[in-house]
Amino acid sequence: MNTSESNHQHLIPNPTTHPFISKFRKFTIHTFSLLVLFAAIYLGFTRTNYFKVHYLKYSLTSPPPLFHAIGSLFSPPKTSFFALPLCAMDGPLSFRWWPHDMKNLALELYQNQCRMNETIVICHSEPGAWYPLLSETFPCPPSSYHDFKSLIGRTMFETNRVNDEHMERCNIMDYVWVTTEFHESTFVQSGIDPSKVVKIVQPVDVKFFDPVRYKPLDLASRAKLVLGSGWEYRKGWDVLLKSYLKEFSKDDWVALYLLTNPYHTDMDFGNKILDFMESSDMVEPVSGWAPEHRGGWGRPLVEAMSMALQVIATNWSGPTEFLTNSYPLPVDRMSEVTEGPFKGHLWAEPSEDKLQVLMRHVMDNLTEATAKGRKAREDMI
């Protein structure tokens, strides 16, 4: 036997080089890699807020029929489209003040894809902002009224009625949500279908607006009066300034703080106040100078009451729903709105003299006022 034959006879095949073994090893490696990748994606997905949102949606709804459930795996979920300008600084539009987790939840919900014919649209604005637009803003609903499953208008006015054009727009909606019995009455009396008008009271976050969580500012005054609202005529800053400046001097050590922001105006509040002072007939006291007027609901009021603060507000429109534990300001007369979308309507003119009396009463009876504030907090809870 020669050497070449001997080597050929004793050659043992290497199993790692066998074609079948090699293919099986590659298949095993690829399969394992895919399983690891799938597990990582699954675990990461179930720990996101997106998963929690959709799990919450599922848990709060009754289980659908089997075939519908199978079909829903391949179609977007039913959703609500809630339209309001989230970048504003006042009112229910104060998105910037939302807690971080709530803000993230809202943004994730906003990303949901949904069919228009299965979407419920909620338009939070005055009807002039509903489609087609009467003012420059984002339209709601964003397209034809017939494209959606249901349409809800959420609105409120501090005037005595709803004009004809707004009435027609309200009657196109499936429902109109209002906040108080005052609005139920004025809307129905203006010609809006009573079956469409639904009272849904606006809530207040009593955990966020809790006096235990905050320390008072160290302000150099014996007592403080605060106006919190957008800078617009309907809020009655003119009545407040007149009453405050007539009633108090620097000897009283009563400070008035204006917590405000521009609302379709510039930010030159200081000069506006000076111009108002120069054009008024008020006389400066010998010792020198040192509430909300009208509102559809009165969000700053309920937030203040949740903080156990006493409030003074005109006894008209939205605040009549909850002014049972504070200092309602009597209405002096009704006046006609002379400009804007509510031109020709009537709204309340509070009594300047009685506002002076109420402010002085609060300053001279702080124990009573504090008790009213505590009761206000209890009522908000």
Q: What is the predicted pLDDT for the residue at 198?
A: 94
Amino acid of residue 45: F
What percentage of the chain carries pLDDT values higher than 70? 53
Domain 211-380 has CATH 3.40.50.2000: yes
Q: What angle do CA 142, 143, 146 make, to 5 degrees?
A: 125
Query: Looking only at Cα atoms, what is the longest distance across the chain?
Result: 135
Contact 193, 176 (CB under 8 A): no
Contact 187, 163 (CB under 8 A): no
Q: What is the predicted pLDDT for the residue at 233?
A: 62
pLDDT digits (tens, 9 = 90+) for 51-101: 443 433 443 344 444 444 444 444 555 555 555 544 444 444 455 566 778
Question: Alpha-carbon distance 176 to 122, whole Å?
Answer: 9
More confident residue, 358 or 225: 358
Question: Alpha-carbon distance 266 to 260, whole Å?
Answer: 12
pLDDT digits (tens, 9 = 90+) for 283-304: 444 333 334 444 566 777 888 8
Q: What is the pTM of this model?
A: 0.56
pLDDT at 129 over 50: yes
Q: What H or E segment, with its residue span, contains residue 354?
A: helix 352-364
Q: What is the predicted pLDDT for the residue at 188?
A: 94
The torsion angles phi and psi of 81, rounded to 5 degrees, stand at -105, 105
Own/partner long-range contacts of 230-234 (Cβ < 8 Å, ≥24 apart)? 230/89, 230/90, 230/91, 230/260, 230/261, 230/262, 230/263, 231/260, 231/261, 231/262, 231/263, 231/265, 231/269, 231/272, 232/263, 232/264, 232/265, 234/158, 234/293, 234/294, 234/295, 234/347
Amino acid of residue 39: A
Q: Provide the residue ranges of all domains of the chain, joining segments of one domain with +.
A: 75-199, 211-380
pLDDT digits (tens, 9 = 90+) for 172-219: 899 999 988 999 999 999 999 999 999 998 888 898 889 898 887 776
The residue written with tokens 């120069």 in the block is 278
Q: What is the predicted pLDDT for the residue at 21?
A: 57
More confident residue, 115 or 368: 368
Q: pLDDT band at 161, cuts 50/70/90?
A: confident
What percentage of the chain carries pLDDT values higher than 90? 7
Tell me the torsion sign for CA atoms 71, 72, 73, 75.
positive
What is 208-234 written as a DSSP string?
Answer: TS-GGG------SSSEEEEEEEEE-GG
Q: How far is the CA of 99 from the CAs of 54, 144, 224, 305, 377, in angstroms?
A: 20, 34, 28, 20, 21
